[in-house]
Each structure stands twice: as C-alpha cells, then as structure tokens.
C-alpha cells in the first residue's frame, strides 16, 4: 500500500451509495474480505453468547444490514440502532430489518455521540479502518466504552495491517493471491486501488491496546487470517459499592 492522500468522507459515501445491491447479499456481499462469512457468524455467535440478555444493539457502519440480520437470528428480541455514511445503505438495512430497527443515522461515526450506557452490544464491521489518526482511535474507543452498558461489548470484523514490515508485505501478497483466485488480476487491482485510496487499516495489536486503554478489560480474538481479523471486547461492570468507595 502507498501513503498518498486518502478519499474524503464524501467520496467514500458516494462509492457506497452506488454499491447497495452488492452489499445486500448476505452470502457474497463482503466476498473481498477473507473468511467474511465465517467471521460474520463468529461475531454474531460470540456477541449473543457473551450478552444473552441483550436488547439494544448499535451497528456501526451497518451497510445493508447483514451483521444485524445475522445477530438477530440469535437475539430475536434485540432492537437495532443503525449508523452508516450512506443513506441508501441505511434505507436498505431498515427494509430488511423491519420492526427491529429502533433508530437510524446517516452519519460519519466520528460525528456521532450517544448517552452513557445506551447499548448492550456494538457491532463494527469493516468501518474502523476509516479512522485516520491515533487521536481518532482514542476518541472512538473511549466513546464505544462509554456508550456500552456495564458488561456490554463491542464486536469487530475488519481489515488490519501488521507491525512488522516483512510480515505486512507477506500478508499483502497472500491477500492478493486470494483476490486473484476470486476474480482475477483486474479484480485484485480494483480492490487494492480502493483500499489504497480509502482505508487506513491499523494492526490488530494496536487496536487491542486502544481498547484496553479505553477501559475494556476482557478481550478475545475470534479469528485472524491474512489481513482480516474478528475480535471483541467486554466492558467490566462496576462492582457493588465501588462507586461509593471511590467517591463517585
């Protein structure tokens, strides 16, 4: 990957506005991501297992709603708040989820805020790689922690980079081979071009460190293959009497 100027929020929004049909396919909508189907299933199952009484889900970068639909299979009583840059994506997700939608916002996640403890689960699939700077990572991970109720959790699937240069090169070559097998060299080049233009993936190790700094104390990696990882972090509840002992 190169390090040239990245797409603006408006440019990214325009690309997703034009790609609703592809992302509406539950089975193939994220085929460019390695092990996309496996990770969607793992994220949904892990979130449901960790938070079986969940009723409030925030889907950040919801796209056409695939992750919320998958999670609803295990948590049929959950209510979903949807966030995405693209209004057409939001509308498609609302159609597919029907009465399960509590609210929806067409917004950049950096411009969004919610009251403390608003959600039991936050799902963030293929969205955090749009964060550009360590300051943005710190802001968003702190907000994720604050938005969650005690014992709530954030569950993530995303493109990641690597801290060791030769490993990054090896993994990128491996990913290129996967894309070649999926759609040939032209497809590989097209995917690489929009990743280079739009995305700023961060190492999985960095993201875990950010989650710990934000206050998450229980973190698990569900799966990692090549440049993609699925993982989650659970917020530790305040022990009874702890607030009184700390004077807060």
Check whether 121 has a pLDDT greater than 80.
Answer: yes
List pLDDT tens digits, range 46-103.
Answer: 999 999 999 999 999 999 999 999 999 999 999 999 999 899 989 999 999 999 999 9
pLDDT digits (tens, 9 = 90+) for 170-187: 999 999 999 999 999 999
Q: Look over the chain and give the mean of its residue pLDDT values, rounded to a whole number.
A: 89
Q: Which of 159, 155, 162 minimizes the C-alpha distance to 216?
A: 155
Q: Return the HEC string of the chain.
A: CCCCCCCCHHHHHHHHHCCHHHHCCCCCCCCCCCCHHHHHHHHHHHHHHHCCCCCEEEEECCCCCHHHHHHHHHCCCCEEEEEECCHHHHHHHHHHHHHHEEEEEECCHHHCCCCCCCEEEEEEECCHHHCCCHHHHHHHHHHHHHHEEEEEEEEEEEECECCCHHHHHHHHHHHHHHHHHHHHHHHHHHHHHHHHHHCCCCEHHHHHHHHHHHCCCEEEEEEEECCEEEEEEECCCCCCCHHHHHCC
Tokens of 51: 């938070």
Task: Say whether pLDDT at 16 is over 70.
Answer: no
List the chain domain ranges: 9-235
Task: Report residue 236's pLDDT band, with 50, 70 and 90 as the boundaries.
Answer: confident
- Is 29 a residue whose pLDDT tops 70? no
pLDDT at residue 245 tops 60 = no
Q: What is the pLDDT of residue 18?
A: 55
Of 11-15, 55-59, 202-206, least confident by mean pLDDT is: 11-15
Q: In this model, does residue 6 exceed pLDDT 80?
A: no
Confidence at 21, pLDDT banded by 50, 70, 90: low
Could you tell me the pLDDT band of residue 239, with boundaries at 50, 70 and 90?
low
For the cut 60, the answer to whether the pLDDT of residue 159 exceeds it is: yes
Residue 27: the pLDDT is 60
The pLDDT > 90 percentage for the chain reads 79
Tokens of 227: 């440049």
Class of the CATH domain delimited by 9-235: alpha beta
Q: What does the pLDDT read at residue 184?
A: 95
Q: Which tokens go with 177?
A: 């081979």
* pLDDT at residue 150 greater than cutoff 60: yes
Mean pLDDT value across residues 205-215: 97
**Which stretch of 6-20, 24-38, 100-114, 184-198 has the lowest confidence by average pLDDT?**
6-20
* Half-sphere exposure of residue 87: CA atoms within 13 angstroms, side-chain side: 1
Residue 36 has pLDDT above 70, yes or no: yes
């Amino acid at each position: 990957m190169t390090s040239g100027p990245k797409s603006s929020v408006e440019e990214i929004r325009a690309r997703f506005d034009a790609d609703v049909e592809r992302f509406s396919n539950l089975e193939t909508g994220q085929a460019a991501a390695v092990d996309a189907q496996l990770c969607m299933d793992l994220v949904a199952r892990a979130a449901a297992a960790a938070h079986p009484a969940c009723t409030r889900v925030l889907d950040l970068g919801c796209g056409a709603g695939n992750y919320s639909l998958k999670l609803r299979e295990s948590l049929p009583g959950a209510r979903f708040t949807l966030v995405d840059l693209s209004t057409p994506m939001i509308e498609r997700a609302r159609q597919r989820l029907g009465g399960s939608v509590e609210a929806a916002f067409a917004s950049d996640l950096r411009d969004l805020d919610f009251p403390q403890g608003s959600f039991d689960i936050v799902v963030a699939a293929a969205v955090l790689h749009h964060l550009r700077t360590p300051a943005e990572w710190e802001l968003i991970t702190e907000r994720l922690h604050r938005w969650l109720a005690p014992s709530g959790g954030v569950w993530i699937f995303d493109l990641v980079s690597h801290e060791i240069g030769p490993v990054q090169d090896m993994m990128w070559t491996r990913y290129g081979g996967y894309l070649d097998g999926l759609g040939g060299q032209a497809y590989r080049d097209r995917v690489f071009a929009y990743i280079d233009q739009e995305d700023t993936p961060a190492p999985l190790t960095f993201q875990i460190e950010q989650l710990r700094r934000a206050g998450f104390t229980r973190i698990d990696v569900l799966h990692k293959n090549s440049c993609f990882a699925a993982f989650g972090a659970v917020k530790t509840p305040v022990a009874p009497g702890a607030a009184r002992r700390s004077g807060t």
